[in-house]
Structure 1
Amino acid sequence: MSEYFEIAYAAVSNRLCLFTGTGFSKSVTDSQAPSWQGLLESVCDEVAQGISLKASLFPSNGKNPLSLEEAAQVISIELMKEDKSIHNEIAKLIKPIDLHGDNSPISDFLSSRSLRVVTTNYDKLVEKLSGESDCHSLTPGLPIPRSPSRIKVYHVHGSVDSPDNMVVTSDDYFKFINGTSYFSRKLSTVLHENTVVILGYSLGDTNLKAIISDYKGFSRSHVIGSNIFLVSRSSVDQPVKDYYSHCYGIRVIDDTSVHDFFTQLNNTIPNAEKCAESSLDNIRKVVFKNAYFTKDFLRIENNFYEIISSIAAIGVSIDDPRVVRALGQIIEKKIELTGENCAWEQYEHLARWLIYLASILELKGTSIEDVYLKATLTSMTTMRKELYTGYSWHAYKSWSYRWSGIIASNRSLIKKYIEEKSSWPDALSVVRNG
């Protein structure tokens, strides 16, 4: 899948950031790490009237009267009456939690790559998986290490190393959201500078939503593809995927556990390593020195994903006239390749390249819009639902199967263009499908 190649390419280029939440800790402890609500319920046991407090905050019908951070504030107040701290009580519960199960796909990756990890978890499990000797753990309230390290773990909500500075209650969240701490600034920076993979997290935290939303505005104004992925263990319906894409610029990889994600990523790394060695030099020559990719290079499907990743790596906007020129030449050569004898796979490649672009970049209003739509018209009018000489059945399958993965605004843009420019029934059947 092109998504895994993109993430692997970021990893071998040292531009990957993992963003971990409670679900990640549950995965690497074989579900022994508590959920956020489970943790607060356990803390209730430290209050004299804990049973009644727990029942009022977390009723058996599941309809909690307060948000979890508000519930934490109530528990904190009750603990203070007994000269106890909710932060210290939580730290006591979290510290004993350890790794369980076969985490080799995760530890293999983390022990061999250089990357950043941003986590809202208080535990130190990422550090254990990474190899603590070559990993810096950065926590609010403690000095920031200045020496280099292969992995940096940013505990933006604090960690058990400094309980007093953990973000737990609604008061804590308010201070964090409205503050300009090193950690809040760092979180915003890594979103802009790296490919980000969200693991075990559901976007429930309003502070993190605000920062990701800020990134979305940046990506639109600079016309760069979305570089945030959300890995979901369960299936995610298309309207929800569209919501994540539209509001936060997030692409969803669903039906994938944390362990399965790292297994697939590890399998993709070798191919990404081969490409990364020369790709940055090549894309600079193409973009800045008017060089061009050969047809032999463009015959290979994965090379297009390498090109797009390289553009992001050198920090150039896809809307840059030099990039538009280069992409236009690439697409034109790909169309030429479809005209060669026995070149049916080239039709499928062209379709997948166009689908991929429309899955990562909002096209409307950009200077690449016209180039893209003309190529899409060519692709869709040379495909056919049934096996028929002179038309690509596999291109039709690609457009039909992957249509729902295209950004919703791009689906509307393509639909309008195809309806205006073509009466080809198979093209219309695809763009009118949802």
Structure 2
Amino acid sequence: MSEMFEIAYATVTNRLCIFTGTGFSKAVSENDAPSWQELLEDLCDLLPDGDEIKDSLFPKKKPALLSLEEAAQVISIKLAANDINIHEVIAAIIDKVSLKGNYKEIESFFSSRAFRVVTTNYDNLAERLAGNEECQSIAPGFPIPRASARVKVYHVHGSTRSPENMVVTSEDYFNFINSDSYFSRKLSTVLHENTVVILGYSLGDTNLKAIISDYKGFSKSHVIGSNIFFVSRSKVNQNIKDYYAHSYGIRVLDEVDTHDFFTELNEKIPKAENIAEKSLKSLRKVVYDGMHFKDTYIKLDDSFYRIVSALSAEGLSLNDKRVVAMMGDVIDAKKKLTLAHNAWPQYEQLAGWLAYLGSIFEVKGTSIENIYLAAVLRSMKTMRKESYTGYSWHAYKIWKKRWPSIVASNRLLIKKHIEAETAWPDALAVVNSLGS
């Protein structure tokens, strides 16, 4: 709930960027859009010795010797020797792909919301979903439009409208990565200023990693919550999640396909719309004017997620002294609410808040480390695996379920603190459940 609400909040505050790869085009074309390797294999069929080249570049029973962009370079050289331009042929193939299948929820979002799309796809399917009259398509080889638009689509690897500017071969990729172009600067701005949702990529995609590699340093130095989400159709191993969180600041939402993602996002947006303006006003009064959130607000299950989303929308850092004071007050107020008679929902909510906070930024060394660990200790010492008077069974379930989503460095920090401060077996069972 918390991650999807965060994305919905970013949408209604005009801070959302959707980063699309081939998998997105497949999702809205009933798989007609070719993968990069499928496209290159089709190009081999245009060559007299195409089968031999295909077998050498894409062997069936052993790893390929060349990356896909290097394979594209080989194929480009062979095609050129036969008076065939690889860029023009690819553009012709891609232009035949059209919207198809069940994309109702995706089109509903694209046709009604304001956001940005950054894509390495050459096709114009995103423009068709948004409605060409309300969408700007921005690609190398064309003037940069100055007017505003509800949706802006940035084709960082070029588009079929200008085949000669498409990034296809290893030579093209080298020039793209090493150029200080409008698009490379735009990518940096988008990553730093927006909540980014990555759809239709493999986590192993080298181009994706090259594009986002500078974000992690910015995130750590500014102590902001990670604002990049990777949506995966399949389940992602915990070690892989930890690696991408640590190396790139990416939060993985696995076992979610593209259609289901937009279905849930569309469901969350109305609530985000209702509270976005009010939550920003409230946050400003607390941070800038020294006021405090009322207990009636702190009692709400989603108030913490509203606060965190509003911080990001306001451009405030978790290392800002005013923000630290505010977060400390909020956590302390929530702890006090657990002392009231029959306050079991508050125990459950406190556990959820603390687990969520641990999933969005690295706590160690920040100014809220002690506040956070004290609250975690309180939460874990008052939870129990079985239903038992005086302890929260639901808080235990939340810690157990959300423990893997907490970034690895925070899991280690919490584990050491719990082992040093309590012998409570259920707390120790949670912090040792993944070995870190």
**TM-score bracket relative to the smaller structure:** over 0.9
2:158 maps to 158
Counterparts of residues 407-422 of structure 1 (less than 5 Å): 407-422=407-422
Distance 2:211 2:139 in 1: 19
1:389 maps to 389
Matched, 1:116 2:94: no
Distance 2:58 2:165 in 1: 25
Q: Deviations over 1:131-173 (max 9, x none)?
A: 1100000010111111110000000000100000000000000
Query: What TM-score comes out, normalization by structure 2 length?
Result: 0.98
Distance 2:109 2:83 in 1: 44
Letter in 1 for 2:165: N
For 1:18, what is the secondary structure of its paired residue? Answer: strand
Greater CA deviation, 395-404 or 343-352? 395-404
Counterparts of residues 392-403 of structure 1 (less than 5 Å): 392-403=392-403
Q: Deviations over 1:19-65 (max 9, x none)?
A: 00000011111111111000001111222322222222122325322
For 2:213, what is the secondary structure of its paired residue? Answer: helix
For 2:79, what is the secondary structure of its paired residue? Answer: helix
Distance 2:368 2:210 in 1: 29
Shift of 1:203: 4.1
Distance 2:115 2:83 in 1: 41
2:61 maps to 61
Shift of 1:13: 0.4
1:372 maps to 372
Shift of 1:204: 4.0
Shift of 1:377: 0.7
Query: What TM-score comes out, normalization by structure 1 length?
Result: 0.98
Distance 2:269 2:185 in 1: 30
For 1:196, what is the secondary structure of its paired residue? Answer: strand
Distance 1:38 1:384 in 2: 52
Give the paired residue count: 434
Equivalent residues of 1:20, 1:121 under 8 A apart? yes
1:432 maps to 432
Q: Deviations over 1:59-106 (max 9, x none)?
A: 232532211100000010011112221101100100010011121100
Letter in 1 for 2:26: K
Equivalent residues of 1:295, 1:333 under 8 A apart? yes
For 1:417, what is the secondary structure of its paired residue? Answer: helix
2:294 maps to 294
Greater CA deviation, 266-275 or 47-56? 47-56
2:99 maps to 99
Ranges of 4+ aligned residues in structure 1 off by more than 3 Å: 203-208
For 1:121, what is the secondary structure of its paired residue? Answer: coil
Counterparts of residues 168-317 of structure 1 (less than 5 Å): 168-317=168-317
1:38 maps to 38
Letter in 2 for 1:255: E
Distance 1:41 1:425 in 2: 57
Distance 2:23 2:394 in 1: 38
Distance 1:414 1:63 in 2: 41
Letter in 1 for 2:153: V
Q: Deviations over 1:91-125 (max 9, x none)?
A: 01000100111211001001111100000000000
Shift of 1:386: 1.5
Unaligned runs of 5+ in 2: none
Instruction: State the superposition RMSD in angstroms.
Output: 1.0
**Relative to 1, partners in 2 of residues 1:207 and 1:42: Cα closer, same or farther, differing over 3 Å?**
closer
Distance 1:381 1:197 in 2: 36
Letter in 2 for 1:350: L
1:133 maps to 133
Q: Deviations over 1:363-395 (max 9, x none)?
A: 000000000000111111111112111111111
**Relative to 1, partners in 2 of residues 1:62 and 1:39: Cα closer, same or farther, differing over 3 Å?**
farther
Shift of 1:205: 4.3
Shift of 1:400: 1.1
Matched, 1:348 2:318: no
Letter in 2 for 1:38: E
For 2:291, what is the secondary structure of its paired residue? Answer: coil
Equivalent residues of 1:177, 1:207 under 8 A apart? no
Identity of aligned residues (%): 62
Letter in 2 for 1:188: S
